[in-house]
Amino acid sequence: MDPTEKEAAVGEYKVNYASLGNGEPLFLLHGSEPKESWRVWEPLFPLADTYKLIAPDLLGHGKSSKPLETPDHRLQAHMLKDLADRLGVHQAGMIGGGWGGQVALEFALEWPDCVSLLVLLASSYDVEQIPRLQKLRKPALIIFAEDDMLTQLKAGYLLRDAIGTSRLEVLEPVAKDPRYDFRMSHRLQKFRGPQVLQLARSFLSRPWAMVAEPPEMENELRGQALRKEDEKDGAIWKKTSP
């Protein structure tokens, strides 16, 4: 199944987006690198067997409008809300990579009733968002690479601590693979696609079973317990109560 690419008028802008699948809506938000577009999410397109994927080109990227200055995460979140309204999407999950995670966080903070859950891949953040996240009661899966030097692992711990209903998974160093180095670590959907897909699929199927308030998660911060469970019975997560 190939994605359908469309264009929507959102205020003064034109937003290009791809959609694929049926089911509960799931927005996929790419990062800030100049050449990024919805196509960076192709490794996660198998999720379309269960969800309706909506992957926009953020303003300033891909085929969407390109203002003289790329709008910040706040304006991108407002654009996304307008797009969701146009598409008749009242609540959706959010998957954001890098800066796209920062946009997803802003959307969730501004319109919490419109967000069911969050998956944040090497997500950046704005310092102003951190104290606001304490009140965000949404299940969140936070995934980082151990050796990421662009969006460093300490950001993952900070986000984990700020979002009480969250789980942090730390993947092995990307630079262990001679094809990649630490500069690539923030592109987890590309360089750790199968792992991210597996983690995301399990989390999406039962998000509240996968998260807990700190310090309950202390023994799982680096994914050690997860890997032990995998080795024992092939499970992704041992189900626990939120």
In the numeric block, the tokens 């080109």 are attached to: 57
194 is a domain residue: yes
Q: Which residues contact 47 (CB under 8 A, 6 or more apart)?
A: 21, 26, 53, 197, 200, 201, 204
Distance between CA atoms of 226 and 203, rounded to whole angstroms?
13
pLDDT in tens, 152-200: 999 999 999 999 999 999 999 888 888 877 777 678 998 889 999 999 9
241 is a domain residue: no
Asked which of 61-65, 120-124, 127-131, 233-237 is least confident by mean pLDDT, the reply is 233-237
Query: What is the predicted pLDDT for the residue at 213?
Result: 58
Mean pLDDT of 55-59: 98
240 is a domain residue: no
Strand segments, DSSP code E, in 148-239 are: 166-171
Average pLDDT over all residues of the chain: 88
Q: Is the pLDDT of residue 242 over 60?
A: no
Tell me the Ramachandran region of residue 94: left when phi exceeds 0, alpha when psi lies from -120 to 50, beta otherwise.
beta
Q: Is the pLDDT of residue 240 over 50?
A: no
Q: Is 28 helix (H, G, I), strand (E, B) or coil?
A: strand
127 is a domain residue: yes
Q: Is the pLDDT of residue 220 over 70?
A: no
Distance between CA atoms of 110 and 107, rounded to whole angstroms?
5
Domain of 106 in residue numbering reads as 4-233
The residues facing 10 across adjacent strands are 13
120 is a domain residue: yes
What is the total count of domains within the chain? Answer: 1
176 is a domain residue: yes
239 is a domain residue: no
Mean pLDDT of 213-219: 49
Q: Which residues contact 120 (CB under 8 A, 6 or more apart)?
A: 96, 101, 104, 105, 140, 141, 142, 143, 159
Query: What CATH number has the domain bearing residue 99?
Result: 3.40.50.1820
Q: Which residues contact 85 (CB under 8 A, 6 or more apart)?
A: none
238 is a domain residue: no
